[in-house]
Amino acid sequence: MTILASSNTLMSQVKSDLNSKFDTQDLGPVKQILGIEITQDKTTGSITITQTQYLKKILERFQMTEYYPVTTPLDPNVKLNKTSDNAKPALSQLVHEYSAVIGLLNFTAIATIPDLKYTVHELSQLMSNPLPIHWTAAKRALCYIKGTLNLGITYLPSNLDPHSYSDANWGTNLTD
């Protein structure tokens, strides 16, 4: 379990409350959760998240460790069209592997490499019947990951007081 708090006092109180109800063990500051590595810099107050180990395991799983990295996740010269209805169905193994890659890429895009989101969006539309060209495009995204293994997202402390606003247009909702 990871506990986040706005102050050390509050953190200690939460730990104490949990300890009074459950047998707990304090493992110290979080270093990794769900394949996401967390590095805290006490001097700057920043937090950096990466997925280096997780991404290496993905590359190993799909035998992509020896491939060269690329600078873009999709080849701009390749058009990925959906398979036509009368096209030969993809082998179930290809569908399974392709779906697995897309799922792993999706988690990576959400967690630490947001520039993969468009690639995941494009490739996921082809999951029902991927062709070999689609599999090649998915492997290219893995090659892109190889070049971004040590990149992550750094969050810096801020004194901002964020506000959010929403505008709902219920006038076009004819249901209710």
d(C-alpha 65, C-alpha 83), whole Å? 29
Between 84 and 48, residue with greater pLDDT: 48
Residue pair 94/130 in contact (Cβ under 8 Å)? The answer is yes
pLDDT score recorded for residue 87: 60
Does the residue 79 lie in any domain? yes
The length of the chain in residues reads 176
Asked if the model's pLDDT at residue 86 lies above 60, the reply is: no
pLDDT score recorded for residue 94: 83
- Which pTM was predicted? 0.76
Where in the sequence is the domain holding 76, given as residue range(s)? Answer: 65-149
Does the residue 20 lie in any domain? no
Does the residue 18 lie in any domain? no
Number of separate domains in the chain: 1
Does the residue 105 lie in any domain? yes
Does the residue 174 lie in any domain? no
Does the residue 94 lie in any domain? yes
pLDDT tens per residue across span 51-83:
999 999 999 999 999 999 999 999 999 888 876
Does the residue 107 lie in any domain? yes
Contacts of 87 (CB under 8 A, 6+ apart): 129, 131
